[in-house]
Structure 1
Amino acid sequence: MYSYKLNIPAEVHDEFVQSQPQANLLQSSSWAKIKDNWQSQRVAFYKDDEIVGVATILIQTLPLGFTIFYIPRGPIFDYENTDLLHYIVKTLKELGKKSKALFVKFDPAIIYCIHSDQADKTPNLSALNIIQNLQEAGADWTGLTTDLAANIQPRYQANIYANQFHFDRLSKTMKRKIKTARQKNVEIVIGGNELVEEFARVMKKTEDRKQINLRSADYYQKLIDTYPKHSFIAVARFHIADRLTAIQEELAKLKDAETKFTEKTKEAKRLENSKAQERLTEEFVWLQDKYEKENCPDSIPIAGTLNLQCGQVSDNLYAGTDTEYGQYQGSVLVWYETVDYLFKRGYRSQNMGGLENTLDGGLYKFKIQFLPTVEELIGEFNLPTSPFYSLFNFAYKLRKKMRTKHS
């Protein structure tokens, strides 16, 4: 016999979440603290005395006492258990109606299809059955959306799995980029609160480049403070002074070699030496100017990642780079070191975040270099809980469409 309880202890909720194949950060109890501009509610579903499902529900208040329920990447339960599925859907509807919710929106962490050279890209039969069962239970499926902005959470994501990741599997190009960063005085530092300001600086560079608004340093601080034992920031620090010294040393070696050229020295070797001196001199002049404009710092942050963990899985929530220093490959090195750091500590996967649904944009082209599994999720569902649902949903879709058109 099924039953439910509201607001069970956070540790009980989290223990269940972390034990499940669908474990994810957005269903951890602490995520409600991050989204504190919403109200929240935890619900646990039981079969007899055993927990068989949970949901962290975010509740957005609307005028006239109405609300919206949103369950990011949840609820978490065995979706192939049809009886349990129908009970949970029924219960969520009842809870929504009690809170005057217009609808209950949820986007479960169920994989619809794997996209790779090896996979045949056919939909997962289990996912198709789950979609059908949810629809039969009364859920309105928003479908296989084609626009990244059409959903609250990305429908396509890049997930790196520990048992599939190794430096030796990376392409020659990626190995060369990692080597370049290390040789050109880029250092990766991993920490917490002490790196928030540096990370926020990198993210501000990303905002300015993309002409978008992301988050403030206070928000990044909030993430670290809310998940003190399950979070870290990785920053790529570029040591400008050390690089300037290294360039001078390389130029001295080239000039010394040039003095030893004889009539027998091949023209190709002379040309190679000349071009190398020209390239390094140009870099030195450019970098010296940057060094002075930056008030001669020991180092500057040029890339960073912010990572949170839930059980054995991890999510890279934010990442940024200062493309002005792109030739030093800080973004590649900081991502590689982030993944390596997690897997050496026993984590099962690293979610790199969303991708364009067309799988051909800038996010995809960068992230695919790390050999992730590209996962297409089944998307969003709405449970209507009000007579005003259809009208509101039409307005919601129209607003989404207009915002996407002008973004």
Structure 2
Amino acid sequence: MYTFVDNVTEFEFNEFAGNHEKTHLLQSYQWAQVKSTYKPLYVGVKEDGKLIATALILIRSLPLGLKFAYIPRGPLIDFTNQELLKFFSDNLKKLAKANGCFMIRMDPGIAYKVYKVEEKDDSEETEYGQNVIDTLKSNGYIHRGLPLKMHDSFQPRFVAIVNLDDTTINNYQTRLKSSLRRIQKRGTKIESGTYQFLDEMSSMIKLTESRKNVSLRNRDYFKQLLDAYPETAEIYIAYLTPKKNIEVFTKEINSLTIEVDKIKDNSPKKAHRLNEQINSLKSLVEELEDVKDEEKTVIGSMLKIDFGHTVNLLYAGNDVKFSKFSPQEFIYDHIIKESIAKGYKYADMGGVEGSLDDGLTFFKAKFNPEIVEYIGEFDMPLSFKYKLFNFAWKMRLKLRNR
């Protein structure tokens, strides 16, 4: 016999959600602390006293007194169990109506397709994903389709996820592996921490916002994440020690120059290769010219949170003035290696555009992720106000996509 629970405790909730096959950070108990302007509801279904389904529901308030219930990357439930799904949906509708909501929107973390970037055109729908779509539609939910653009849904429908095991590093693109070897030689270093790196994190994000003409997040938001996940949230910074770096590069330039002078007449090809190395080192010194007297210069940052079996790489920024030191590649690689050692199964690199032809996709593809294409969003209308909201939402997307 099923029992609907509308106040699951934090321990019970995270114990179930953290171990669920389809677990996601956005279905952790603490996520509501990050979305502090929403009213959270922690619900679940028990059978014989044992939790068998959970959902973090966020009640969002809109202008004119409108409200709707949103379940990001959830619920965590066995969608093949028709009886359970109907019981959950019936109680969910009652709860949403009691909270004055005109609709429920859910975004199940169920894959519609899974493929490598280069295999997109040959990919096929997963049987389970299609079954869940059909099941939800038969239970009265409206499928909002399969949009390609990242901002056409509340959460990105296309996400790059790296499977973590003993083959992961070897499966990097060849160019990335070569680049990582160069980065280590160039002296890029990494530190990790929490609140002590908030300023560095926010400054790197501001540089990225300015460069890409986008709005991301600010220092207060990053602090919220650290507050909500004190045990698993970390900030990583990539940095240089310019004075020391320049000393090392200059010493190497001088050494190579002496060697070139010795062999240039007898080994012109080798001398040419050495001159290329010298020019490369000189370009690194030039890149450090503005910070040559500094002991430490931060050139990149990332904030990540672990939940369940997944490491979530949430926000990253870098200073393009130091692009030759490749801070982002170095940080991603560092966290991936660290996560493999800790036994995590996946590294969620976040959303990409469904066209898979943008710069963000090209960057993430270096790490050979799988593209997980989710089944999309589903709405359950509870009032005539749903049609008005849906019309306004479509107009908003139309204006944005002009």
| Distance in structure 2 (CA, Å) of the matches to 1:248 and 1:45 | 66
Q: CA separation of 1:59/1:256 partners in 2, compared to 1, >3 Å: closer, same or farther?
A: same
Q: CA separation of 1:165/1:301 partners in 2, compared to 1, >3 Å: closer, same or farther?
A: farther
- SS of 2:102's partner is strand
| Distance in structure 1 (CA, Å) of the matches to 2:361 and 2:349 | 10
Counterpart mapping for 1:295-314 below 5 A: 296-314=293-311
Q: CA separation of 1:403/1:30 partners in 2, compared to 1, >3 Å: closer, same or farther?
A: same
Q: Which residue of 1 aligns with 2:23?
A: 23
Q: 2:340 aligns with which of 331, 340, 343?
A: 343
String of CA shifts for 1:12-61, please: whole Å, max 9, x gaps. 11111012101111111110000001111111112342221111111112
Q: CA separation of 1:342/1:286 partners in 2, compared to 1, >3 Å: closer, same or farther?
A: closer
Counterpart mapping for 1:7-406 below 5 A: 7-116=7-116, 121-163=123-165, 165-261=167-263, 264-288=265-289, 290-291=290-291, 296-405=293-402
Equivalent residue letter for 2:375? I
Contact 2:19 2:309 in 1 (8 A): no
- SS of 1:76's partner is coil
| Distance in structure 2 (CA, Å) of the matches to 1:131 and 1:234 | 39
Contact 1:156 1:354 in 2 (8 A): yes
Contact 2:171 2:367 in 1 (8 A): no
Contact 2:165 2:340 in 1 (8 A): no
Contact 1:75 1:108 in 2 (8 A): yes
Contact 2:38 2:60 in 1 (8 A): yes
Percentage identity across paired residues of the two chains = 29
Structure 2 portions without partners, runs of 5+: none
| Distance in structure 1 (CA, Å) of the matches to 2:5 and 2:287 | 63
Contact 1:140 1:383 in 2 (8 A): yes
| Distance in structure 2 (CA, Å) of the matches to 1:151 and 1:161 | 25
Equivalent residue letter for 2:62? L
Q: CA deviation at 1:401?
A: 2.5
Equivalent residue letter for 1:167? I
Q: CA separation of 1:129/1:273 partners in 2, compared to 1, >3 Å: closer, same or farther?
A: closer
Contact 1:160 1:350 in 2 (8 A): yes
Equivalent residue letter for 2:212? K
String of CA shifts for 1:338-359, please: whole Å, max 9, x gaps. 1111121111111110111011
String of CA shifts for 1:182-218, please: whole Å, max 9, x gaps. 1101001122222222122211111111111211112
Equivalent residue letter for 1:107? D
| Distance in structure 2 (CA, Å) of the matches to 1:124 and 1:255 | 59
- SS of 1:101's partner is coil
Q: CA deviation at 1:85?
A: 1.2
Q: CA deviation at 1:269?
A: 3.8
- SS of 2:44's partner is strand
> Normalising by the residue count of structure 2, what TM-score does the alignment of the two structures yield?
0.94
Q: CA deviation at 1:167?
A: 2.3
Q: CA separation of 1:54/1:282 partners in 2, compared to 1, >3 Å: closer, same or farther?
A: closer
> Normalising by the residue count of structure 1, what TM-score does the alignment of the two structures yield?
0.93
Equivalent residue letter for 2:349? M
Q: CA separation of 1:398/1:14 partners in 2, compared to 1, >3 Å: closer, same or farther?
A: same
Q: CA separation of 1:106/1:187 partners in 2, compared to 1, >3 Å: closer, same or farther?
A: same
Equivalent residue letter for 1:381? F
Equivalent residue letter for 1:201? S
Structure 1 portions without partners, runs of 5+: none
Q: CA separation of 1:283/1:118 partners in 2, compared to 1, >3 Å: closer, same or farther?
A: closer
Contact 2:287 2:322 in 1 (8 A): no
| Distance in structure 1 (CA, Å) of the matches to 2:378 and 2:187 | 48
Equivalent residue letter for 1:267? P
Q: CA separation of 1:183/1:161 partners in 2, compared to 1, >3 Å: closer, same or farther?
A: same
Deviates more, 1:28-37 or 1:229-238: 229-238
- SS of 1:344's partner is helix
| Distance in structure 2 (CA, Å) of the matches to 1:377 and 1:191 | 32
Q: CA separation of 1:141/1:236 partners in 2, compared to 1, >3 Å: closer, same or farther?
A: same
Equivalent residue letter for 1:147? K
Equivalent residue letter for 2:162? I
| Distance in structure 2 (CA, Å) of the matches to 1:317 and 1:247 | 34
Contact 2:161 2:346 in 1 (8 A): yes
Count of residue pairs the alignment pairs up: 400
| Distance in structure 2 (CA, Å) of the matches to 1:340 and 1:270 | 37
| Distance in structure 1 (CA, Å) of the matches to 2:52 and 2:6 | 14
Equivalent residue letter for 1:368? A
| Distance in structure 2 (CA, Å) of the matches to 1:222 and 1:37 | 12
Q: CA deviation at 1:361?
A: 1.1
CA RMSD of superposed structures (Å): 1.9
Equivalent residue letter for 1:291? V
Equivalent residue letter for 1:198? E
- SS of 1:234's partner is strand
Q: CA deviation at 1:274?
A: 4.2
| Distance in structure 2 (CA, Å) of the matches to 1:335 and 1:282 | 24
Q: CA deviation at 1:261?
A: 4.1
Q: CA separation of 1:363/1:165 partners in 2, compared to 1, >3 Å: closer, same or farther?
A: farther
Q: CA deviation at 1:100?
A: 1.9
| Distance in structure 2 (CA, Å) of the matches to 1:282 and 1:28 | 46
| Distance in structure 2 (CA, Å) of the matches to 1:54 and 1:217 | 31
